[in-house]
């Protein structure tokens, strides 16, 4: 709900190190929108590391969402399910803050949100990322915009790598320096990311500075990997070829953001998380991602930061079912996809035995979900247990009836944010989503951000997995471990 829709709106001024900002107190929640944490990445600051914004002296209006990173809307069926908000402007390295009203010197725990979107979509302006429910429950919620796509994850000559990740580090540093002005405790920051935002968070968790940036971490439905720079560079080379230029900073800076974005859209047309082809990815580089995050986490990096991590049961259905690809997959296609993904034949047969009557498309979706997400997650949880690191694992299993999505990628988000009745949420989970499930999931996120304990046992040799099914939400022990083992 926008501020203009609410009654008894009271202006509120808070002072950041860059200058005062004026938000509002409405409905018992303070809201500050579009606060810059870094200078606008334009002109000479394009394809460069983020720097602090210039100071201001007069209260800066912070009542409406700020600009969003350059992007285009999702194509086709994904566009029906995953909405896009685009707000023009240069100052898109900004944060939104939702906070309970200040109570003297009391400082509240903080949750910093990094949105997903394949490193090329998404923003903190999406209604589904409204942090009011967290503020209602005494958590200061901060949502972050960061550079996306060609502006944020190109691999170019003479340009730093992983600029979108560098933006996230700058945002966390800004939070550490400024959040006490909004009633947040800089020593109690939980970083949380979903999908691509969880991927970047895995890299941050694996970074040697992790414990200086966050007290806890939550990774939702995310790959835990990065690519060699030579491989991550392929998408930049495709864009350069499309535009008839070199994949170098000087050449890319000579193009307007709109020209680069149009080329990006052409190059990525038809490419999805499952279809293959070059996509934007974290690149291994000496500064921010010195080694693959999965390998670093297994090797013990980030072990001093408590972690909550999980997936949905049927992640791949988001890309398989609405597009109709699921229905077109036959036995031959399944066999070819299995070989391409490096999945053993024995694993395929096990998945088929465990799912009598499942279609080839359903089998492929289950294999890819586990291969890409559940198996790496389990390896990290096991390694952290042996390193005596606190880890809590969950699985979201409730099935959305919308377009037969089931427990697909992103279906869990309205429940985490406790906003299942929002129009965008209804478009993803339907109009009969269980409020009790939203209450349970949201409470777990709040409890973890507040106390470091989401309400179920930490990972150990028994492998407890909190399963949010919308019924009894049980803790299951070693669920489907045979399938994880079969996939290696």
Q: What is the CATH number of the domain that holds 227?
A: 3.40.50.1820
For the question of residue 386 being annotated catalytic, the response is: no
**Is 16 domain-assigned?**
no
Return the DSSP state at 209: T
User: Taking CA 145 as the corner, what is the angle to CA 430 and CA 106, rounded to the nearest 5 degrees?
Assistant: 90
**Is 146 domain-assigned?**
yes
Alpha-carbon distances of 476 from 360, 406, 467, rounded to whole Å: 27, 20, 7
Cβ(367)–Cβ(341) below 8 Å:
yes
**Is 56 domain-assigned?**
no
For the question of residue 195 being annotated catalytic, the response is: yes
What is the pLDDT at residue 6?
Answer: 47
Cβ(238)–Cβ(146) below 8 Å:
no
What is the pLDDT at residue 4?
Answer: 46
**Residues in CB range of 189: below 8 A, 6 or more apart:** 109, 110, 111, 112, 172, 175, 176, 179, 213, 214, 215, 216
**Is 145 domain-assigned?**
yes
**Is 148 domain-assigned?**
yes
**Is 7 domain-assigned?**
no
Average pLDDT, the chain: 96
Rounded CA gap, 172 and 179, in Å? 10
What is the pLDDT at residue 178?
Answer: 98
Return the DSSP state at 75: P
**Is 254 domain-assigned?**
yes
Instruction: List the catalytic residue out of 118, 120, 123, 195.
Output: 195
Range of the domain at 165: 32-37+62-487
Rounded CA gap, 45 and 33, in Å? 23
**Residues in CB range of 205: below 8 A, 6 or more apart:** 191, 214, 217, 219, 293, 297, 301, 302, 305, 307
What is the pLDDT at residue 273?
Answer: 65
Query: Within the chain, which residues score under 70 in pLDDT?
Result: 1-7, 273-277
163-188 CB burial, b ≥16 within 10 A, e <16: bbbbbbbbbbbbbbebbbbbbbeeeb
What is the pLDDT at residue 278?
Answer: 78
**Is 54 domain-assigned?**
no
Number of independent structural domains in the chain: 1
- 412: burial class by Cβ within 10 Å (0-12, 13-18, 19+)? buried
Instruction: List the catalytic residue out of 409, 425, 442, 483.
Output: 409
Instruction: List the catalytic residue out of 151, 315, 403, 483.
Output: 315
What is the pLDDT at residue 7?
Answer: 65
């Amino acid at each position: 709900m926008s501020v203009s829709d609410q009654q008894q709106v009271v202006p509120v001024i808070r002072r950041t190190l860059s200058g005062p900002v004026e938000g509002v107190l409405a409905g018992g929640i303070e809201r500050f929108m579009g606060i810059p944490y870094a200078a606008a990445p334009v002109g000479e600051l394009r394809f460069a590391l983020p720097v602090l914004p210039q100071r201001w002296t007069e209260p800066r209006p912070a009542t409406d969402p700020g600009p969003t990173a350059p992007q285009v809307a999702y194509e086709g069926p994904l566009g029906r399910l995953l909405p896009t908000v685009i707000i023009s402007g240069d100052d898109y390295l900004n944060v939104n803050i939702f906070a309970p009203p200040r109570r003297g010197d009391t400082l509240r725990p903080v949750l910093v949100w990094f949105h997903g979107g394949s490193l090329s979509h998404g923003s903190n302006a999406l209604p589904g990322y409204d942090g009011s429910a967290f503020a209602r429950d005494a958590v200061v919620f901060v949502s972050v915009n960061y550079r996306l796509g060609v502006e944020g994850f190109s691999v170019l000559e003479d340009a730093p790598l992983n600029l979108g990740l560098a933006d996230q580090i700058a945002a966390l540093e800004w939070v550490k320096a400024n959040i006490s002005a909004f009633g947040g405790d800089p020593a109690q920051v939980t970083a949380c990311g979903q999908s691509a935002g969880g991927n970047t968070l895995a890299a941050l968790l694996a970074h040697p500075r992790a414990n200086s940036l966050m007290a806890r971490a939550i990774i939702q439905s995310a790959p835990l990997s990065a690519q060699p720079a030579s491989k991550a560079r392929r998408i930049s080379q495709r864009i350069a070829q499309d535009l008839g230029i070199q994949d170098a900073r000087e050449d890319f800076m000579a193009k307007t953001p709109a020209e680069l974005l149009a080329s990006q859209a052409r190059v990525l047309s038809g490419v999805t998380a499952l279809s293959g082809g070059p996509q934007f990815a974290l690149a291994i580089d000496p500064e921010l991602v010195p080694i693959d995050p999965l390998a670093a986490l297994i090797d013990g990096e980030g072990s001093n930061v408590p972690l909550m991590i999980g997936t949905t049961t049927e992640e791949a259905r988001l890309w398989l079912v609405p597009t109709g690809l699921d229905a077109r997959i036959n036995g031959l296609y399944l066999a070819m996809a299995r070989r391409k993904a490096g999945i053993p034949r024995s694993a395929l047969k096990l998945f088929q035995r465990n799912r009598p009557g499942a279609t080839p498309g359903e089998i492929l979706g289950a294999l890819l979900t586990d291969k890409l997400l559940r198996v790496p997650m389990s390896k990290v949880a096991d390694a952290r247990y042996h390193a005596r690191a606190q880890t809590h694992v969950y699985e979201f299993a409730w099935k959305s009836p919308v377009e037969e999505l089931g427990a697909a990628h992103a279906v869990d988000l309205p429940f985490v944010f406790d906003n299942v009745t929002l129009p965008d949420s209804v478009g993803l989970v339907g109009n009969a989503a269980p409020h009790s499930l939203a209450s349970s999931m949201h409470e777990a996120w709040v409890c973890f951000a507040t106390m470091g304990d989401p309400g179920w046992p930490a990972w150990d040799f028994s492998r407890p997995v909190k399963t949010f099914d919308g019924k009894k939400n049980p803790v299951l022990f070693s669920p489907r471990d045979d399938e994880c083992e079969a996939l290696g």
